[in-house]
């Protein structure tokens, strides 16, 4: 695979060298969303230290003989400590291996890539950052939900539903976000959905505001639950959905009947104007 890829590439790309670590994003799921540089690093790495959310189809691009090391961290399940993962990257690089640290989405978007890079700097290990398509953008696109639309929003807020201790981050200014951000995209928010929705409603968000849960985004197992802010927790529980999921709040969710391109491939008829009813009501 790697020889074919090298022949097909129309440009020169850097190579993963012995003793170096690349911190790369694998995108939200679909292996077709890997960047060229991430795919090339998979074909060159001696050791690939990967997260739980990396699609197995992406790992099949690894070169013959590459060692795959699982370092996934899933909420509520036994997992390696972050410091141990970072030090393992140092150990592998110091042994002369070409090391790929592969993360779901983007390594710098709630992916702890910054923490790992700082450890590499601490121990003098050369590294490269290979950005990936974050699930908060690519995953929503696979659900037919844009993070921005001119008739809806000119700003978007990305936030995480829990901090390193597993609770809702106390440094989030819910009142400011509720008042100032027309669209909110949340990672790792399902565990505390009741508290989060209560915070936002207390901050002035409408209980009937559109919400969508996009589970297993950009994979064959993708599912989407559309609900409202006031019913989000109850509907999530009733539907029995489980992480991983991206949660989006805002009127961009209302574009899904028009932009659900995956649904259209299965026969769904898309609406040409999702806001036609609003225009009729204000005419």
Q: Distance between CA atoms of 109 and 147, rounded to whole angstroms? A: 15
Report how far residue 17's alpha carbon sits from residue 34's, in angstroms, rounded to the nearest whole number.
Answer: 20
How many residues are given for the chain? 283
> 3-state class of 144 per DSSP?
coil
Question: Which two tokens mark 119?
Answer: 């450890």
- The answer to whether the CB of 60 falls within 8 A of the CB of 32 is no
Q: Are 46 and 71 in contact (CB under 8 A)?
A: no
Question: Of the residues 30, 51, 106, 260, which is catalytic?
Answer: 51
30, 103, 188, 260: the active-site residue: 188
User: Which residue in the list 73, 191, 235, 271 is annotated as catalytic?
Assistant: 73
Q: How far apart are CA 177 and CA 162, in angstroms?
A: 16
Report the DSSP beta bridge partners of residue 160.
187
Indicate if 103 belongs to the active site: no
Write the Ramachandran bin of 87: left for phi over 0, alpha for psi from -120 to 50, otherwise beta: alpha
Q: Could you tell me if 145 and 259 are in contact, meaning their C-beta atoms sit under 8 angstroms apart?
A: yes
73 is catalytic: yes
Cβ count near 94 (within 10 Å): 13
94's CB contacts (< 8 A; 6+ apart) are 19, 123, 125
Following CA atoms 216, 217, 221, 224 in sequence, which dihedral angle do they give, to the nearest 10 degrees? 90
Vertex 250, ends 244 and 255: CA angle to 5°? 90
- Of 152, 98, 166, the residue nearest 128 (C-alpha): 98
- Kindly list the catalytic residues: 51, 73, 188
């Amino acid at each position: 695979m790697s020889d074919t890829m090298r022949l097909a590439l129309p440009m020169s790309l850097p190579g993963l060298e012995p003793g170096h670590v690349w911190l790369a994003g694998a995108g939200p799921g679909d292996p077709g969303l890997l960047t060229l540089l991430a795919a090339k690093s998979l074909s060159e790495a001696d050791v690939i230290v990967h997260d739980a959310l990396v699609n197995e189809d992406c790992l099949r691009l690894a070169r013959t003989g590459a060692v795959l090391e699982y370092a996934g961290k899933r909420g509520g399940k036994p997992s390696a400590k972050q410091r141990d993962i970072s030090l393992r990257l140092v150990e592998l690089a110091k042994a002369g291996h070409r090391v790929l640290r592969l993360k779901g989405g983007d390594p710098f978007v709630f992916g702890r890539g910054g923490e790992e890079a700082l450890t590499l700097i601490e121990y003098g290990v050369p590294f490269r950052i290979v950005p990936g398509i974050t699930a908060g953008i690519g995953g929503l696109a696979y659900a037919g939900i844009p993070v921005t639309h001119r008739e809806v929003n000119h700003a978007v807020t990305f936030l995480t539903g829990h901090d390193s201790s597993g609770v809702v981050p106390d440094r989030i200014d819910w009142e400011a976000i509720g008042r100032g951000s027309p669209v909110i995209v949340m990672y790792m928010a399902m565990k505390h959905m009741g508290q989060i929705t209560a915070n936002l409603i207390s901050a002035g968000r409408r209980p009937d505001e559109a919400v969508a849960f996009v589970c297993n985004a950009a994979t064959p197992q993708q599912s989407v639950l559309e609900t409202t802010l006031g019913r989000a927790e109850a509907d999530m529980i009733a539907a029995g959905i489980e992480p991983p999921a991206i949660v989006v709040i805002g009127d961009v969710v209302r574009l899904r009947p028009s932009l659900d391109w995956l649904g259209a491939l299965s026969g769904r008829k898309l609406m040409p104007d999702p806001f036609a009813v609003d225009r009729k009501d204000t005419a």
